Amino acid sequence: MKKLALLFIILLSFSAFSQEKDTSNWRVIPSLTDWIEEINNSTDSIYEAKNIKILLDNKKDALLVEDENLRVDSISENIAATVNKSVTVDGLEFENFFGSGKTKIIKNIHFKGWFIISNYTSSPIPGCYFKNMIFDERFSITGSDKFYYFNFIGCVFNSRVGFFDFNQSSSFAFRNVMIKEQLQLTRCLGGPRLRITNSNFNRVSLGGAVISAIEIRNSKINTISITDANIESKVHLIENDIGLIELTGAQLPESNTYISFDQISRKIFVDTRNINRLDAPTYKVSDAMDFELKEDYDLLLSSYKSLLGSYQKRGDQGSYNACYVEMKDIETQRLKYLYKKAPSFKSFFTWKINQFLKTFSAYGTEPARAVIVSLYVILLFAFIYLLFPNSWDKHGKNRIMNRYRFFTKYMNQEAGIHEVYLEEQQQELLESEDFKNYMLKAEKHIPRFFLATAIPLYKWAISGTKLSASILKRVDIMKGTWSELPQSKRIWKSILLIGTFLIAVVYDIFIKMLNALMLSINTFTTLGFGEIPIKGLPRYLAIIQGFIGWFMLTIFSVSLISQLLN
């Protein structure tokens, strides 16, 4: 058993080492400076080479190489070498480590032609740093069967950048980089990692690739296309300025997708014809979308639903609501199109219901807005009820006229204001007095319990009126009639009387408004509560308000429950 295990380990080790490229027979160039001179001195218009190994000389390449230092210099001031021709190399190795403890960084080179490498390798560190470089034409690296990392710091790419056929997990990092055309990862099935920070890209295309992780921070990217890409572990887009993004068919990790929706609102698009073209996409969110393109419409909505799933899984309620509202807005636009294309009550009703839901509760995502809209409806109907009499308002429209009558009587009688008040309340007092007398007459014919409880009830019934009369007596400002007042006292007593009158009128108006408001609230929240306490046209409006209230409160309840469940 031990022999079999040992044999297995030997075979596994042999298999692993067999994957390494044998570069012992490759042509060695002693320095990066020598290689640049070789390229520029080449008689061919395009420099082509195969299987070359370039050493990095600290002294000779002092301006082109440095130990690991990630500080970004100014490109315009530090370009130290220019490569005048396009470069195509099949089999390239940079010897990038000499025991100093730090990786070597290649920097300060301006490539005026394209830079195309296939079968790249480096030793002993599996990767490369490019810093403060300019590439005028296409930059691409193709083919790798082992892990590599490529870090670009402060570089400018005036054309396309591509990484192809990386079949082992690799890492591509860009910091303070400008790509004027496109960064493309294609046929990369090994799950590379992509990190972009503080950069400015025209387009990032990851169509069809298997990506381990994507992290883009504080960058400006005009277009991101992740069509049909499979991102395995992480997608983080944080504080970016994104022009457009395509997510058609992308498989996003539900538990580790962080794309704040405010970065991509109204920027999602699909392109079913030419995914990699650099001009404007064919189908994007706008106010004039072509809903004849049903395939594009369906793919666009599937992108939103994919995002909704990741937002819900991660618990980002703000992004979930914003994404859902935008998706429903697109659906509402399409419902309007369908109604105009084939008018019917059903299509009209569905379209208008969606519009109402947007206004009332943002499609169920904002219960607070539903409360506010309901309040507006209640106030509107309360204003209508205020203009008409109702049985809840005892004095009705005569309330203010009664106030005029009361104050006029007070100023024309010798009696005090409390006596005028008691006279106004005479009917109510007489009813209570009749009740007391009736109970006293029946004292000998009924148990004492009834009289013992009836008298306190009588006193409680008239206590409010007596208390009001007592207060009015204490604040009485006139003795006698208004005509008997000396001229010297009329001015300040006029001010007191008018002030008291206005306070009473304001109180009356407040009570009338309160009655109208309570009637409106009762009607809004209760459909079919019996006799409607108002007459005329508002009687029928009350029925309409009741139906509106039932409908709106139902939607509010659904919205609230939906938010609680989410």
- Centre a 10 Å sphere on the Cβ of residue 467 and count the other Cβ atoms it contains: 10
The pLDDT of residue 285: 84
The pLDDT of residue 18: 37
**What is the dihedral sign for C-alpha 464, 469, 470, 475?**
positive
The overall average pLDDT reported for the chain is 79
Least confident span in 110-119, 280-289, 361-370: 280-289
- Amino acid in position 210: V
* In the chain, domain spans: 33-69+76-272, 285-359, 396-548
Q: What is the pTM of this model?
A: 0.69
Q: Residue 156 pLDDT more than 90?
A: yes
Q: What percent of the chain lies above the pLDDT cut of 70? A: 77
Residue 89 phi/psi, 5-degree rounding, is -130, 130
DSSP per residue, 149-196: EEEEES-EESS-EEEEEE-S--EEEEES-EESS-EEEES--S--EEEE
Q: Residue 216 pLDDT more than 90?
A: yes
| pLDDT tier at 17, thresholds 50, 70, 90 | very low
Give 106-142 pLDDT, tens digit per residue: 899 999 999 999 888 776 667 788 999 999 999 998 8
* Maximum mean pLDDT: which of 165-169, 229-233, 504-508, 511-515: 229-233
Question: Beta strand 104-107 with 65-67: parallel, antiparallel or unpaired?
Answer: antiparallel
- Please give the average per-residue pLDDT across 460-482, as a whole number: 74
**What distances in angstroms separate CA 500 from CA 418, 461, 482, one per listed residue?**
14, 26, 15
**Which three-class secondary structure state does DSSP give residue 341?**
helix
| pLDDT tier at 353, thresholds 50, 70, 90 | confident
The pLDDT of residue 139: 94
Q: Which residue has the tokens 């395995």?
A: 232
| pLDDT tier at 104, thresholds 50, 70, 90 | confident
Task: Kindly give the residue spans of alpha helices, DSSP state H, lying in 413-486.
Answer: 417-424, 426-441, 448-474
Between residues 268 and 388, the one the model is more confident about: 268
Q: How far apart are CA 86 and CA 457, in angstroms?
A: 109
Q: Residue 330 pLDDT more than 50?
A: yes
Q: How far apart are CA 248 and CA 159, in angstroms?
A: 26
Give 68-90 pLDDT, tens digit per residue: 665 555 555 688 899 999 999 99
- Please give the average per-residue pLDDT across 315-327, as a whole number: 89
| pLDDT tier at 468, thresholds 50, 70, 90 | confident
